[in-house]
Structure 1
Amino acid sequence: MSVAIDGVQTSDGRIAQLGIFDVQQVEVLKGPQALLFGKNNTAGVISIATADPTDGLEISGRTSYEFVGDESTTDVAISGPLSETFGARLAVRYRNLDGWLRNTARPIANPFYRAATGAPAGAAQLPGTTDTRPGDKEILARLTLKGEPSDNFTFRAKSFFARNKDAGPGTATQNIGPCTGATPRMYGIADPAADCVVDNRTTIGNLPAAISTTMRGGTADGSPYGKLTVLTQAIDLGWKLGAVSIDTTTG
């Protein structure tokens, strides 16, 4: 099943997580949906339509807080006409998650270190973690322009931008096996700082600085991270030619 936002289909499921804000309508369409959404939609489509400009000035906002992860989310939207035939809408979301998992990784000797290989001495120790609550931050923005310049022509353009930065795999994952006694194994080595229980603990340690500083994009302290930047565009054009209508969607 694929996801279509404002008529533009994508097979990347991450776009659904980013795109569902300031929503007007969500449809779950049973497959196949090849006619309107392409051949890759035999299982169906989740079709998301975001809000359009309003006929009058509208300013709205909403904020929420989740206690377990200390996650705050704030949405703001401003919408209205710019002229008799032209309207605009700007919606922005900011989200900050401190983290619902507790990273218990601690410094240990690197079990894979072999001085004979020429590895730097600084790699002999795994440093543990500098972030005991790995979380993430993101900002989303969508600008919609909609107009009807003439009786037989309409257009709508939606530009979407998203930027997300997280603290690496420890933001949402936990190693709980395979287990050696009470501790799980990672790459065949027992992890002394972890447990084999489904709980709110994870162990994702930093890389030794002697290694991370040699890697493209590596951090000075070896801490893991992930970055995602998204920019999408959807343009709808419509013409009425007598009894015939022509509509196009470009993404």
Structure 2
Amino acid sequence: MDRKYLLFGSALAAFTATPAFAQDANAPQSDATSGLQDIVVTAQARNQSLKDVPVSVSVVDGATLQDKNLLRLDDIQFYVPNFKMTEVGITTSIFIRGIGSGENQGFEQSVGLYIDGVHYGRAKQTQAPFLDIDRVEVLRGPQSILFGKNSVAGALSITTAKPTRSFKASVVSSYEFNANDFVTEGYVSGPITDHVRARLAMRYRDAQGFEFNLRTGKKNPQRDEFAVRGTVEVDLTDNLTATAKAEMSRFDRTGRTGQTFVSDPIAVGPFAGLTYGQVLYNVFGQDASVLDEKRDGRRAATGEFSNNKMQTYSLGLDWKIGDYTLKSTSAFTRLKYNDNCDCDFIGADIFSAGFREKFDQTSQEIRLISPEFDSFDFILGGYYEHTKQDYGDQIVVPGNSLLIPAINAQAPGFGNLLANTQAARTARVKGGCAVSLRAGELAFHA
């Protein structure tokens, strides 16, 4: 993806009330000698200073996300070493240190995504836009003990902003001129009573895209996104806090970002001396857009869309028992999407592929976290997950597909049988569940 438009586009701050990232005048100042601010992370399931965590971690805080206009998870790959995320034709590939699950949609990601401790295992869930984020932690290397057996390459741990004990509000809008990319987001946070705090955050984005589609005459990728999250934090007792969260998001896209280019003509055979695009145009009579074989910000494809909806409901309990902490996280997530891919990735009429999925996940996790003693500390926990998935995909061959005359030339009449046909498959997984004692860390200090 060409990032220069997003990195150097003009931004307009429309309105800001009580800036979200303003520093408290009474807060401790950064180390005057080093000039560095202490960064607190939860990479080991407890609040620790980043410099004390024996794990390779990169942290992108909420202020950086806003200042750099990082809108989605794939944007942070330009600021985090060894992290790569690519939205390909049929799925999203995530790699850390070159390790990932690839493009097989039957696999959950080898780089696990966790938002406020809840696992999001489907690749599509990584495409959801950022909303009111406190920080993003990228953990490199296997994280199976504390995060789960699927996180063999690493983990992405996202922490959302929590309700505040004083009233705060913010609205920020930006506009990028080249892509006609308009984003507005804001939040309201503060106390309701002495023991109840709440936070409401919303985000909207409308973007026309920065690559020109020669077939449709419009820019790609066009994005229409909306997300809202409500969080309520209640002090049930002096030692017990409950946090309830409900979030709904919609992120739709028309068109993609990839360009197909061919640099060398065919060397031998009946089409020697012609490029792939010239063969499609001169021999098969395809649209002239197939002749564009340069990396010039222009592409050609039709019928591409991706419509996605996601919901999350969670309840967290945080109980202080002396110096120990007992945490419980209950969650339900739902993902629904409907995609269509022009999977020949050019302006020719060949075939398209459709994908749909509905995925429900219910999970429960409990952890007992010890204080950090002089010589050792420990974390004990259990995890339960129940999932239900309905999935289907299909290959569509239109009546004007060039596959039809090509096949007819080899087997007369057979290609006509493919016209306007759909080859579909569906899969359903009900009642899948997992139970594990996945968090059982015992650490000894020198």
Fold match by TM threshold 0.5: yes
Counterparts of 1:185 and 1:229 in 2: how far apart (Å)? Answer: 41
RMSD of the alignment, in Å?
A: 2.5
SS at match of 1:248: strand
Q: Which runs of 5+ in 2 are unaligned?
A: 1-110, 266-273, 332-446
Tell me which residue corresponds to 1:172: 257
SS at match of 1:9: strand
What do the CA deviations read for 1:220-243 (whole angstroms, capped 9, x no partner)? xxxx43210011123211223455
Tell me which residue corresponds to 1:132: 218
Q: Does 1:240 align with 2:328?
A: no
Shift of 1:6: 0.9
| 8 Å Cα contact 2:235-2:241 kept in structure 1 | yes
| 8 Å Cα contact 2:135-2:160 kept in structure 1 | yes
Alignment-mate amino acid for residue 153 of structure 1: L
Counterparts of 1:6 and 1:243 in 2: how far apart (Å)? Answer: 22
Q: Does 1:27 align with 2:123?
A: no
What do the CA deviations read for 1:141-187 (whole angstroms, capped 9, x no partner)? 111111112123211122221112222xx33233334975373777x
User: 1:184–1:54: structure 2 CA closer, same or farther, 3 Å change rule?
Assistant: farther
SS at match of 2:146: helix
Alignment-mate amino acid for residue 47 of structure 1: S
| 8 Å Cα contact 2:213-2:301 kept in structure 1 | yes
| 8 Å Cα contact 1:71-1:98 kept in structure 2 | yes
Write the mapping of 1:172-191 to structure 2, written as runs, cut at 5 A.
172-177=257-262, 180-181=274-275, 183=277, 191=287
How many residues align? The count is 207
Alignment-mate amino acid for residue 289 of structure 2: A
Percent identical among aligned pairs is 32
Q: Which runs of 5+ in 1 are unaligned?
A: 106-128, 207-223
| 8 Å Cα contact 1:3-1:13 kept in structure 2 | no
Tell me which residue corresponds to 2:202: 92
Shift of 1:137: 0.6
Counterparts of 1:185 and 1:160 in 2: how far apart (Å)? Answer: 50
Alignment-mate amino acid for residue 248 of structure 1: S
Tell me which residue corresponds to 1:38: 148
Q: TM-score, normalised by structure 2?
A: 0.43
| 8 Å Cα contact 2:262-2:294 kept in structure 1 | no
| Equivalent of residue 145 in structure 1, options 215, 226, 232 | 232
Tell me which residue corresponds to 1:56: 166
| Equivalent of residue 163 in structure 1, options 244, 250, 271 | 250
Alignment-mate amino acid for residue 226 of structure 1: S
Counterparts of 1:104 and 1:30 in 2: how far apart (Å)? Answer: 41
| 8 Å Cα contact 1:185-1:191 kept in structure 2 | no
| 8 Å Cα contact 1:5-1:19 kept in structure 2 | no
User: 1:184–1:53: structure 2 CA closer, same or farther, 3 Å change rule?
Assistant: farther
Tell me which residue corresponds to 1:202: 299
